[in-house]
Amino acid sequence: MAVMHFSVPRHIISGPAALNHLSTLKGRKAVLVTGGSSMKRFGFLAQAEALLQQAGMQTLIVDGVEPNPSVALSGVVPRPCRSLSPNGSSPSAGGRRWMPPR
């Protein structure tokens, strides 16, 4: 049986101005991961990307990630991420969270 590892982010930022916290993060590269189109449609994705760029980070958006992604998807999504070598990722599926790398 394969060994599985699950880790929970160390910090969860929430509240009305939580998205603004992205501009205070330290790092050089970040990945924004989103599912459907609502984050883009309502402008949250562009705002998050702008805030990360304001913090001096290069960003990559990986969208269309389904809820509870399949094993096949877990082999596809990391490919563009490897070329960026991000300092962290931010899952953006209705929530605003920053997940620093281990």
Count of domains observed in the chain: 1
**Mean pLDDT of successive 10-residue stretches along the chain, which has 102 residues:** 70 83 88 83 92 91 76 65 64 47 44
Q: What is the pLDDT of residue 49?
A: 93
Q: What is the pLDDT of residue 15?
A: 84
Question: Does residue 64 lie within any of the structural domains?
Answer: yes
Q: What is the C-alpha separation between 99 and 89, in angstroms, rounded?
A: 5
Question: Does residue 47 lie within any of the structural domains?
Answer: yes
Range of the domain at 72: 19-91
Q: What is the pLDDT of residue 4?
A: 74
6-to-24, 41, 53, 89, 96 alpha-carbon distances in Å: 27, 31, 29, 15, 19
Question: Does residue 5 lie within any of the structural domains?
Answer: no
pTM of the model: 0.66
Question: Does residue 86 lie within any of the structural domains?
Answer: yes
Question: Does residue 1 lie within any of the structural domains?
Answer: no
